[in-house]
């Protein structure tokens, strides 16, 4: 057995101690806490099959019920259609879960915004209180890395907020990318953020920002931000090679793979972008600053676009899911695993 297979197997064995009493998921102790990995995900990991991590904040805080549940199910289906196993991550009753059953997805979707939005700093508090947590990019990356999942698909990442040099408002997504070796497939960052400073911060953190079939960093709703990426990937195979090189070199940093919104949705994306610019002007005119600015901007953009922003958001997440899953499959092939391999 080659060394990557041995290291992966030891990683799985270290994290997995299945309890026969649970049919739907295997529990294991890791780093002092109880984690539950669904049987499907743990089986896929143990045989080296492609697995894609998915966050849960988009379910609880991204859109209303039942649209959030439908979208979550559709994204999981897209991952499967492209040859990978979806591993949606959340904290339920104080237990971090990697891979959710349909009832658990339904519970999150119905509870919605009452579920605590959970970044890395919140994980211990939610677990200690035996609460429910919808994981953001930083928390999802943390749990994905713990389970040995290399690819994580999301909509967009957080970043440095406008006037961040005064407020120090910098998303923990950026520091997580600097210390957690997971590849994050996203449509870049929303232009309500300071994109040039976001990219500068990632460069300081040593994070490779790769454009998927583009030289320019996408701005979520639009294909272009006016900022260049540090490297370009022209295929899912290129992306897999980048991830594998990062792992083998033990750089211990994440990779941001930036995928532009699909062309057929970029017209509505441009409409959303113009609404963002208008909302930014209004915020300046009304002297709305600091922590009040982002909620104002998001709410105003939603009003101005009459729901177009949500449709574009869903379209780009689905596109990211398809590309991220293909990357995960290429990575498995590159590492020489076979779906039927049994350890």
> Where is 109: in which H helix or E strand?
helix 102-111
Catalytic residue among 36, 104, 190, 293: 190
Verify whether residue 55 is a known catalytic residue: yes
- Please name every residue paired with 183 in a beta bridge, in sequence order, or none if there are none: 151, 255
* Cα 284 to Cα 293: distance, rounded to the nearest angstrom: 9
> Where is 135: in which H helix or E strand?
strand 133-135
Residue 200 structure tokens: 């500068």
DSSP β-ladder status, 95-98 and 33-38: parallel
DSSP-assigned letters across all residues of 139-166: HHHHHHHHHT--EEE-S----BBTTHHH
Catalytic residue among 36, 55, 176, 273: 55
Verify whether residue 190 is a known catalytic residue: yes
DSSP β-ladder status, 208-212 and 183-186: unpaired
Residue 290 structure tokens: 């600091």
* Cα 225 to Cα 213: distance, rounded to the nearest angstrom: 15
- Please name every residue paired with 219 in a beta bridge, in sequence order, or none if there are none: 188, 222
Which residues are tagged catalytic? 55, 190
């Amino acid at each position: 057995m080659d060394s990557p297979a041995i290291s992966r197997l030891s990683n799985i064995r270290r994290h997995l101690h299945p309890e026969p009493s649970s049919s739907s998921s295997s529990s294991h102790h890791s780093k002092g806490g109880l984690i539950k990995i669904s049987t499907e995900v743990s089986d896929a990991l143990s045989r080296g099959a492609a697995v894609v991590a998915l966050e849960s904040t988009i379910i609880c805080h991204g859109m209303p019920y039942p649209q959030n549940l439908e979208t979550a199910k559709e994204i999981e289906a897209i991952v499967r259609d492209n040859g990978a196993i979806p591993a949606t991550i959340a904290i339920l009753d104080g237990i971090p879960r990697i891979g959710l059953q349909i009832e658990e997805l339904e519970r999150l979707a119905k509870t919605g915004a009452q579920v605590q939005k959970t970044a890395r700093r919140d994980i211990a508090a939610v677990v200690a209180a035996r609460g429910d947590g919808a994981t953001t990019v930083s928390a999802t990356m943390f749990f994905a890395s713990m389970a040995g999942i290399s690819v994580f698909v999301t909509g967009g990442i957080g970043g440095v907020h406008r006037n961040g040099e005064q407020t120090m408002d910098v998303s923990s997504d950026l520091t997580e990318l600097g210390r957690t070796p997971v590849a994050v497939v996203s449509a870049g960052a929303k232009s309500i953020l300071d994109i040039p400073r976001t990219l500068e911060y990632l460069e300081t953190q040593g994070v490779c920002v790769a454009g998927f079939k583009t030289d320019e960093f996408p701005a979520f709703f639009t294909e272009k931000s006016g900022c260049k990426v540090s490297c370009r990937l022209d295929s899912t195979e290129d992306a897999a090679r980048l991830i594998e090189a990062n792992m083998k070199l033990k750089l211990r940093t994440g990779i941001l793979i930036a995928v532009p919104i699909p062309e057929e949705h970029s017209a509505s994306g441009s409409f959303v972008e113009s609404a963002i610019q208008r909302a930014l002007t209004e915020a300046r005119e009304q002297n709305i600053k600091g922590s009040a600015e982002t909620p104002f901007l998001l709410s105003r953009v939603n009003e101005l676009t009459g729901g177009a922003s949500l449709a574009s958001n869903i379209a780009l997440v689905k596109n990211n899911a398809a590309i991220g899953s293909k990357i995960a499959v290429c990575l498995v092939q590159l590492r020489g695993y076979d779906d039927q391999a049994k350890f």
